[in-house]
Structures are given as structure tokens and as C-alpha cells.
Chain A
């Protein structure tokens, strides 16, 4: 089974509008972390936001917020006031075993390509 599922291969959004990128995950580990990364055409992976499984509140970082619904195992990324520079691939990722010590690997979804329209 896929650990991270992103069902939107591509999304369009009008500039200045908000957009939600979907992500669902699958884990039996009670301790995990969820990430969103942005990858522009240059290839670099840019960290956007992090949500821990025990965090009570949804994470926010500027125009980015993570809509964390633990029971539904979803971690959607919301980008408010979209800008042309937001056009990129967006990857949802998960790290399991946060309490087991050491560095646990991060598993990535297949990504969503976001295009912001002027």
C-alpha cells in the first residue's frame, strides 16, 4: 500500500486565490511527521511546512497552512494568496518512527504540479 497518496497530478489556481493540495497517508506508527516540499523547475527541494502527529494545532508558515485531520489520515496543504512564483511541483512526505531513535527515512508522494495563472 502507498504510504503517501497525492491524487492530484496537476492543479491550476488563479493568482491571489487560495488552493488546497491533497495528501493522505497510511501508517500504523503513532509517532510520525508530515512534510510538504516545493520543487521548482530548478530541482531543489524547498521545505515548506511540518506537522507532527502529536501536534494539537494545524501548522502554519506564512501563506502555507497544513490542514491536519488525523482520524482521516489527511494532511492537505493550503496556499493562500497564490503567487506566480508558487508554480512548482509539491510533494507531501512522511517520516515514521519518530520515537524510535536515530534518523528515520522520509517517504514521498508522487507530487502535484501547481500552475498559477495570472
Chain B
């Protein structure tokens, strides 16, 4: 199957700093990518839809200025958590559909963010 990578897999940062998480589609082009957040033992909550060449679409309740999304190319989307606080600690997962006919969304392995 198609491969989606995320970097870093784990990050620990101090409160107030910014953290950038990368999501790459390794063997296909993704004009759209999705960013999810998962709290411990909870479901995946969609944060935003990342669109190549245009602004991201954020879900209700997600702060655009806090979670900056940039879809720089057809294979790369980045999520930057700005001025991170301990409550931003979570598991962040990206996904990308490979094509309109593809029933599967390919998920990255996730990034575990811990804000001290």
C-alpha cells in the first residue's frame, strides 16, 4: 500500500515554544491531507483539511492561529503548533487519500507531542 510518513515521531518541548510536524506522502501525490488529533484512549478528531495551493479548512473549534497548516507541495503538509501549552499535548496523525477512486485513506504513523 501507499506510504505516508510523519516527522518527528515524538517531540517534547517547553511551554511557549512552537513545534512543526511534517506529513509526507512518499509514493503518491496528495492534493489533500487531513490532520487529526487523538487524546489518550479517545477517538481521532479531525482538526483540519490541508489543501495544496490554498488555505486549510479548519473544523469548528480549532484555532487557526494556533495550529498553522501549510501544504507546501503535492507531497508535504506541515502542522505547526504555535506557543504550545501542556493542553496541546496529544497524538497528532495525518492522513492522505491517494485518489478519488481509492477507498482507503493512508495514515501516517503519528507524532506524540508532549509540552512541559
Which A residues lie at the B interface, using CB under 8 A? Answer: 33, 35, 37, 42-45, 47, 50, 52, 91, 102-103, 105-111
Contacts and interface: CB of A to CB of B under 8 A. Distances in A.
Interface in B2-56: 32, 34, 42-46, 49
A50 B104 contact: yes
Given A43-B91, A107-B46, 5 more contacts: A33-B103, A47-B105, A47-B107, A105-B46, A109-B43
A52 B100 CA distance: 14
B3 to A, nearest CB: 11
B76 interface: no
A32 B105 CA distance: 14
A105 B50 CA distance: 11
A107 B45 CA distance: 8
Interface string B94-116: 01010010011111011010000
Contacts of A42: 109
A106 B109 contact: no
B95 A43 contact: no
Contacts of B44: 45, 91, 108
Q: Which of A35, A102, A109 has the most CB of B within 10 A?
A: A102
A110 B43 contact: yes
A44 B109 contact: yes
11 contacts: A37-B107, A43-B93, A43-B109, A47-B107, A52-B103, A103-B97, A105-B49, A106-B34, A106-B105, A107-B46, A108-B43
A43 B110 contact: yes
